[in-house]
Amino acid sequence: MKKILIVEDQDEIRELIRVTLEFDDYEIDEAPNGDIGLAKAGSFLPDLILLDVMMPGGLNGLQVCQKVKADPVMRQSKVILLTARGQESDRQAGLSAGADEYLIKPFSPMELMKVIDKVLA
């Protein structure tokens, strides 16, 4: 069973993502910010991290992504950045941070599942 970690500060979006994922056979964990997300990634060792870019607190999504991809234990985790920032420079910053995919909010559940299937294939 594939493990997915959802790191998103907005409760409603986190719930929407979790409900979408529950239709498939995934083990799911969640975090409300980057600091908790990074800690959970280190212990949960997810196959995929769905990571919001702009979050309050110490670490934003780009920083979490960089730390995950730099860590020999976690670097196998795929990262999909979720963000409302759709400029090409934002996308390039995400890919430079090590993201495997970049999904712009708002997105449909079907669009999310398509990107997850592609990244986990």
Residue with tokens 């498939």: 24
Q: Has this prediction a pTM greater than 0.85?
A: yes
pLDDT for position 106: 93
Query: Structurally, how many domains does the chain consist of?
Result: 1
Helices 88-96 and 61-70 pack at an angle, to 10 degrees, of: 30
Q: In whole angstroms, what is the distance from residue 103 CA to residue 80 CA?
A: 7
Residue ranges making up the domain that contains 22? 2-120
Sign of the dihedral through C-alpha 77, 2, 101, 103? negative
pLDDT for position 99: 98
CATH code for the domain in which residue 84 is found: 3.40.50.2300
Residue with tokens 């990571």: 51
pLDDT along the chain (121 residues), means of 10: 97 95 95 97 98 93 98 97 91 95 94 97 93
pLDDT for position 6: 98
